[in-house]
Amino acid sequence: MFRCGNVLLSLKGSAAKGKAFLSAAAFTFFVIAVPVLFAGNANAASDMTTLVNKLENKGVLSKSDADSILSKTTQENQGGELPAWLRNISFGGDLRLRYEYLDVQNQSTETIRRARFRYRLQIGDQIMKNWKLVFGIASGGNTSPVGGISRSTNQNFGDAFGGKLPRIDLTYLLYTPSKALTVGVGKFPNPIWTPTMLTWDGNIRPEGVYALIAPSAGPGYDYFLNADLFVLGNGNRVGPLMGVINPVVDLKFSQKDTIRLAGAYYVFNDLKQNYSSFDQLPNNVNGIFHNVTGLNTADSLAANGNLLYNYNDFWFGGQANFGGLSAVVPYAGLYAEYINNPAPSSDNQGYIFGLKLGHAAINKYGKWQINYNYRRLERNAWLDIFPNADVYFGSTDVMGSRAQFTMGLAKSMQAVVSYYNFKPIENLKTGDTLNHTENTVQVDWQMEF
């Protein structure tokens, strides 16, 4: 729900400028707030008429604007419901406030202590029966390689109260000709299913096209196939490209006891010679990871700065859910992933395994969950531009643990405390005497709307 606080307007300009501002604010109100205020109200049309008339009498809306709004509402309103042009628009998003302490031992830069926020807003419009248009914005407009590269939607508090830039987070078109097929084109949420962020940071929005094929299945199982073609791009060229095949099977033993198994095959075109143009690791970790050319990356490079290997990877993952265990711990979940890059003969694997205990969904006050996992992602197993940005700045060539506790504060509100402990694998192999262990603590308050 959108909430309006007290707004103090200092109208030092002309009356015409003030009226223009109020008119713009009124139209913004009708586009955004009206769907929320009148949803599910049997007297919606009458209430809207009263509101529009009052705004016209006060001079906020002109007579022609007021007549246009009322005419369209009257024509499309059916049985006291919202008009179709409003019913087809949906809103959603989330807000997260975070305090973060981050320290990498024996690092040249100082310990990080920062307050951050993340805000994401999504607007959907069902433009036709089988077509939906989605647009989203998010915080973190600065995509410079400091604190998570462009994978991060976090925005730091500070800069002497300076303004914070938004960025386009989503812009895509969905076509659903049947229940068994969905096609998306544009910049969209990641369609590839994974139980964790070992290989994909949750803020990455791939660009290109995907098809989700979900045929009818039996009473005890479901399955679907996700096929993708992503555009990585390189300056003015479309390539490199990434192709993905991601089959998924769900086994349902009861409503609360389920197992999901999945696989994926990744294939890249024109990647090796164009990798150096992508965003690399943040400057915070410069000198910790070793490479040939000095480019700040954990991936193995050739002398000319290009990738030494291809990354046509095989991936497998799964998650098992068990419900109804006890009154104290009603839910348990087990999950794991494994990835392998067949091109190199060493440092080419990654894996993660973990356990969840508590409640399956944190959707009301008092529900809780503990989540622990251990991961190892070797330097040539996967590109370092994709993994979770909170784990050693998004790098590969790391191993360690994450522990997380989540407590429900309300229906769509949670408090989360996370602890990360990771170290570079390569340093251990080379006998580096310096300890570069990362210790990170994050304290979050988050809500969805």
pLDDT digit string, tens, across residues 87-110: 788 999 999 999 999 998 887 778
Instruction: Give first-to-last CA distance, the chain, whole Å.
Output: 6
DSSP 386: S
Q: What are the strands, taking DSSP E only, across 86-193?
A: 89-104, 112-128, 131-138, 155-156, 167-178, 181-187
C-alpha span between 391 and 14 (Å, rounded): 53
Residue with tokens 């150096």: 276
- Domain spans of the chain? 15-87, 91-448
Question: Which residue has better confidence, 343 or 69?
Answer: 343
| Residue 436 confidence class, pLDDT cut points 50, 70, 90 | confident
- Of residues 205, 198, 114, the one with CA closest to residue 168: 205
Residue 441: C-alpha distances to residues 22, 31, 103, 321, 405 (Å) = 45, 40, 9, 28, 12
**Single-letter residue type at 249:** V
Can you give the pLDDT at residue 23? 52
Q: What is the mean pLDDT of residues 384-398?
A: 91
C-alpha span between 399 and 413 (Å, rounded): 31
- Of residues 292, 283, 291, 296, the one with CA closest to residue 107: 283
For the chain, percent of residues with pLDDT exceeding 70: 78
pLDDT tens for 392-403 read 988 899 999 999
Q: Which of 244-248, 303-307, 352-356, 389-393 has the lowest mean pLDDT?
A: 303-307
Q: Which residues contact 391 (CB under 8 A, 6 or more apart)?
A: 197, 375, 398, 400, 402, 420, 422
The number of beta carbons lying within 10 Å of the beta carbon of residue 69 is: 22
The angle, 0 to 180 degrees and rounded to 10, between the axes of the packed helices 44-57 and 63-76 is 170
Can you give the pLDDT at residue 35? 45
Q: Which fold has domain 91-448?
A: Porin (2.40.160)
Asked if residues 197 and 159 have their Cβ atoms less than 8 Å apart, the reply is: no
Please name every residue paired with 269 in a beta bridge, in sequence order, or none if there are none. 241
- Of residues 230, 220, 170, the one with CA closest to residue 386: 230
